[in-house]
């Protein structure tokens, strides 16, 4: 993979990630990314990655390892957020980020990795299926607070 530098996320990346996220979602969410980065840095400073090209963040992948919860017996790796600049989506950049995180999960004893994908993001689901992910028999329930 040429022209890209992959490194752990830092507290200085919020604006670059927010800019990329805005490109992908059309919403500016700097506070969200500042909070998410702070949480990632506290939990596992090496667990979330960014990719830079020519000094600009062009991809991010946030991940986490959690113990048993919600009926899952073993330690589980979770993919929290993945974003790749549309101009870089055919460059194998997402695959490279995923390979690094999966290697890290394996080295820490994680045997299963999970993530959630909304039906609104069919392209993300297709990418993850190509990376070997498959559907699980699990229900996601939601409720408005008001």
Convert the pLDDT of each residue in 61-118 to its tens digit.
Answer: 999 988 766 666 788 888 999 999 999 998 899 999 999 999 999 998 888 898 888 8
Predicted pLDDT of residue 1: 47
Residue 146 lies in a domain: no
Convert the pLDDT of each residue in 20-55 to its tens digit.
Answer: 999 999 999 999 999 999 999 998 888 999 999 999
Residue 143 lies in a domain: no
Residue 136 lies in a domain: no
Residue 138 lies in a domain: no
- Can you say whether the dihedral through the CA atoms of 110, 112, 117, 123 is positive or negative? positive
CA separation for the pair 9, 47 (Å, rounded): 8
Residue 144 lies in a domain: no
pTM listed for this prediction: 0.85
Residue 70 falls in which region: left (phi positive, over 0), alpha (psi -120 to 50) or beta: left
User: Contact at 8 Å (CB) between 69 and 27?
Assistant: no
Residue 76 lies in a domain: yes
Q: Which residues contact 83 (CB under 8 A, 6 or more apart)?
A: 17, 20, 21, 24, 59, 60
> How many independent structural domains does the chain possess?
1
Tell me, what CATH number does 41's domain have? 3.40.630.30
Query: Which domain, by its residues, includes 68?
Result: 5-130
Res. 125: pLDDT tops 80: yes
Convert the pLDDT of each residue in 14-26 to its tens digit.
Answer: 999 999 999 999 9
Determine the average pLDDT of the residues in 9-15. Answer: 96
Question: Both tokens of residue 81?
Answer: 């957020």
Residue 140 lies in a domain: no
């Amino acid at each position: 993979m040429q022209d890209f530098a992959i490194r752990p996320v830092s507290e200085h990346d919020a604006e670059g990630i927010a800019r990329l996220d805005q490109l992908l979602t059309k919403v500016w969410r700097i506070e969200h990314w500042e909070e998410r980065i702070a949480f990632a840095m506290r939990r596992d400073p090496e667990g979330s990655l960014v990719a830079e090209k020519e000094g600009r963040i062009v991809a991010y992948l946030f991940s986490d390892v959690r113990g048993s919860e919600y009926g899952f017996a073993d330690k589980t790796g979770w993919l929290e957020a993945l974003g790749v600049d549309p101009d870089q989506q055919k460059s194998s950049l997402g695959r490279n980020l995923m390979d690094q995180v999966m290697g890290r999960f394996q080295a820490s004893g994680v045997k299963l990795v999970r993530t959630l994908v909304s039906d609104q993001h069919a392209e993300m689901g297709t990418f993850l299926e190509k990376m070997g992910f498959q559907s699980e028999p699990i229900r996601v329930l939601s409720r408005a607070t008001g």
